Structure 1
Amino acid sequence: MPGSVAILRTSPVRVGGQVDETQAYFHRLFWTFPPCIEAFRHCKPLVSIDGTHLYGKYGGTLLIAIAQDGNSNILPVAFALVEGENAESWTFFLSHLRQHVTPQPGLLVISDRHNGIKAALEAPDGGWLPPAAYRAFCIRHVAANFALTFKDPAMCEWANRIDYSLWTQHRDDGRRFGHMTTNISECVNSILKGVRNLPVSSLVKATYGRLAKLFTAKCFAVTLYDRDNSEFTVAETTPTGSFSLGSYRVSLASRTCDCGVYQISSVFSVYRMGFTPPIPEGFWPPYDGPTVIPDPAKRRAREGRPRSTRIRTNMDEADPNQPKRCGLCRQPGHTRRSCPQLGGSSHTGGQ
């Protein structure tokens, strides 16, 4: 899709100690789509970030940034495939998120207390320090850490050591919009269900397809209109109009809405830019770089008997000149399956 942002990072392939210039290992990928970039301009100045493990042939983590529109609908705005959650991978994701999707000042980031996120957000040149941006903890993760760490009066001291602005509403200056957890990130697992075991290109295509469907589903229809009082009822429906997702009475004169917040124009603007059909692969610009291949070191261990980690010595090496012995009677010349003792016990058992 024209205007999409895709940032690929690779690592060198070495053959015989020399770098193979024709190939490169896949390392990290950040991507987002133009409708997501435009949509975030009309969303709450808040983004929830989280990571979820891949479970396909290769290991790794999918990082996601989630926004929310004025009607409390969740909206994924950026993705990244990385080797795992660490300071370098979170810095890669958050730096491109800031540059391409969320440049607005005063933004709030809600996350868990992962040290990699902390290091990325506190980097002096990352653009995430106050007053350019603020951070808040997911209270669910704080509570889980709290319960695991303390069983005595020291719990109060532990909680008081966390800056109140990071985990309480009365010190957040209204930036949380009532969001105390990263649940909107967790909910995206349902949107991306079944894609975390796909190859990289198929996973990216899946996010495009799911988002295109999400944008199409956000349809609004005016059901009643009072010209004299400049009031109308707007219904959020499915694309076919067969199912209502909510109905609100809006007054243009008093600029009020039944939902409690007059943000109708902002909600419409979020989904104004649609997803255009992608350009067929045969019409893509020519590529003259190295062939990107999967890193064999990132491949998951095959199912079955685990590899032995025992350090073997000379005593463990079998003599190739010695005949193999039966595992049952320890005599040479036959195997356990054809052992005479096995046949004798079967005969005895039959009597």
Structure 2
Amino acid sequence: MEGTVALLKTSPVRVSDNVDDSTVYFHHLFWTFSPCVEAFRHCKPLISIDGTHLYGKYGGTLLLVIAQDGNSNILPIAFSLVEGENAESWSFFLTNLRQHVTPQQGILVISDRHNGIKAALENSNSGWLPPHAYLAFCIRHVAANFALSFKGTDVKRLLVNAAYVKTEAEFHYWFDIMRTENPAMCDWANKIEYDKWTQHQDGGRRFGHMTTNISECVNSVMKGTQNLPGTALVKSTYGWLAELFVIRGQTTEAQLASGVKFCQSFMKAMKRNLKDSRCFTVTLFDRHQSEYTVAETTPTGSFSLGTYQVSLQDRTCDFGYFQALHHPCCHAIACCAQSRLDWSIYVDEVYTMQKVFRMYQMGFVPPMPGGTLATL
């Protein structure tokens, strides 16, 4: 298919101290398809990366990168077949990923704390350093490492709660509980930069994603292909993605035709926000209808500040959800109602059905019969 990228890296055959130039071994393979590259332009600006072990005659590891559309659908966008998870293989994968699939600025990479991934991303020539791209850790992996040092049924929960909350006040609430339990817990957590594991300091880059679960979901889907040889594995990803693009393209086209403006998963979240927005007293502080305070008449959760500052112009709220999830929280919706503004203009474009439809507009073509790919 035109636009497909398939890069094969070989290694020389060594006999004692000599190199046999007439023969090479398969070493690494990277591949992606043009519809996946095009689709990522319309996804959330983040990726999840992970590896899964292959079985059968050849073994090895499949590295993959997963994106997500505004309707919470996951989409694999690139793959690599390597001998294992190490610095060299991750560098090969991530360098080609950056060059051929994800050249956009400001992308967030969510991964576990594998040293090979960290080394590859922090290479000065990788293109993955801030402000071009940012690294965040999967909190489930961080919590698992945390539990190796601190025993107890609830210690992981304390760290996870501190990571998930969206305001600094809530973070310090849980951090203080950790300090009361054992000051060494806080010392351990402070060794990791806050922007890599907490949501309140992620700059809104996570869109609420705290784990690598979206890539591990694909691992479970691909279990039936993990014992295939290389060529069959590549072909299976092509066929699986071709079917996926057809199904999602047809679904989103039908929803657009029926007049649906926003994604279904997004509207589920907004229904709760619209309901809670009735529980506030709103005060406008400028004639441009951008700065407000919102006072609760009924608490909206277990942790309440009572009064929140909202800036529609900056799309921020003390509640933290507005900037973290990139759509209006209940307080921002209350401000819009007070000033008779349409709350939908403050929703990130990624949550619109039009944006999701663009992801799947480009389809795959039927494979050529009698292909000539050599068996890898």
Common fold by TM > 0.5:
yes
| Distance (Å, rounded) in 2 between the aligned partners of 1:100 and 1:260 | 26
| Distance (Å, rounded) in 2 between the aligned partners of 1:16 and 1:28 | 23
Residue in structure 2 matching 1:197, options 199, 218, 227: 227
Task: Flag the structure with higher strand content.
Answer: 1
Which residue of the partner structure matches residue 252 of structure 2? 220
After TM superposition, list the pairs within 5 Å mapping 1:56-71 onto structure 2.
56-71=56-71
| Distance (Å, rounded) in 2 between the aligned partners of 1:170 and 1:235 | 26
After TM superposition, list the pairs within 5 Å mapping 1:234-253 onto structure 2.
none
Count, aligned residues: 270
Which residue of the partner structure matches residue 287 of structure 2? none
Alpha-carbon RMSD across the aligned residues, in angstroms, is 3.0
CA apart distance, 1:232: 2.1
Kept in 2, the 8 Å contact 1:49–1:109? The answer is yes
Which residue of the partner structure matches residue 272 of structure 1? 361
After TM superposition, list the pairs within 5 Å mapping 1:22-37 onto structure 2.
22-37=22-37
SS in 2 for 1:174: coil
Kept in 2, the 8 Å contact 1:221–1:234? The answer is no
After TM superposition, list the pairs within 5 Å mapping 1:15-164 onto structure 2.
19-151=19-151, 153-164=183-194
- 2:209 counterpart of 1:182: no
Which residue of the partner structure matches residue 318 of structure 1? none
CA apart distance, 1:111: 0.2
SS in 1 for 2:49: strand
| TM-score computed with the length of structure 2 as normaliser | 0.66
CA apart distance, 1:217: 1.3
| Distance (Å, rounded) in 2 between the aligned partners of 1:185 and 1:49 | 6
Kept in 1, the 8 Å contact 2:11–2:27? The answer is yes
Residue in structure 1 matching 2:260, options 222, 233, 247: 233
Kept in 2, the 8 Å contact 1:61–1:81? The answer is yes
In the TM superposition, structure 1's runs of 4+ consecutive aligned residues that sit over 6 Å from their partners are 245-249
Kept in 2, the 8 Å contact 1:112–1:137? The answer is yes
Residue in structure 1 matching 2:240, options 198, 203, 210: 210
Cα-to-partner distance string for 1:93-136 (whole Å, 9 max, x where unaligned): 00000000000000000000000001001000100110000010
CA 1:173 to 1:196, structure 2 compared with 1: closer, same or farther past 3 Å? same
SS in 1 for 2:252: strand
| TM-score computed with the length of structure 1 as normaliser | 0.70
Higher mean Cα deviation, 89-98 or 21-30? Answer: 21-30
| Distance (Å, rounded) in 2 between the aligned partners of 1:19 and 1:162 | 44
SS in 1 for 2:224: coil
| Distance (Å, rounded) in 2 between the aligned partners of 1:150 and 1:133 | 32
CA 1:247 to 1:92, structure 2 compared with 1: closer, same or farther past 3 Å? closer
**Larger-Rg structure:** 1
Cα-to-partner distance string for 1:199-251 (whole Å, 9 max, x where unaligned): 000000011111111111102254697xxxxx923799xxxxxxxx87979xx
Cα-to-partner distance string for 1:37-61 (whole Å, 9 max, x where unaligned): 0000111110000011111112211
After TM superposition, list the pairs within 5 Å mapping 1:261-300 onto structure 2.
262-281=351-370
CA apart distance, 1:156: 1.8
CA 1:197 to 1:264, structure 2 compared with 1: closer, same or farther past 3 Å? same
| Distance (Å, rounded) in 2 between the aligned partners of 1:223 and 1:26 | 45
Cα-to-partner distance string for 1:266-309 (whole Å, 9 max, x where unaligned): 10110010011123345x6xx9xxx887xxxxxxxxxxxxxxxx
Task: Flag the structure with higher helix content.
Answer: 2
Paired amino acid for 2:247? A
| Distance (Å, rounded) in 1 between the aligned partners of 2:109 and 2:194 | 15
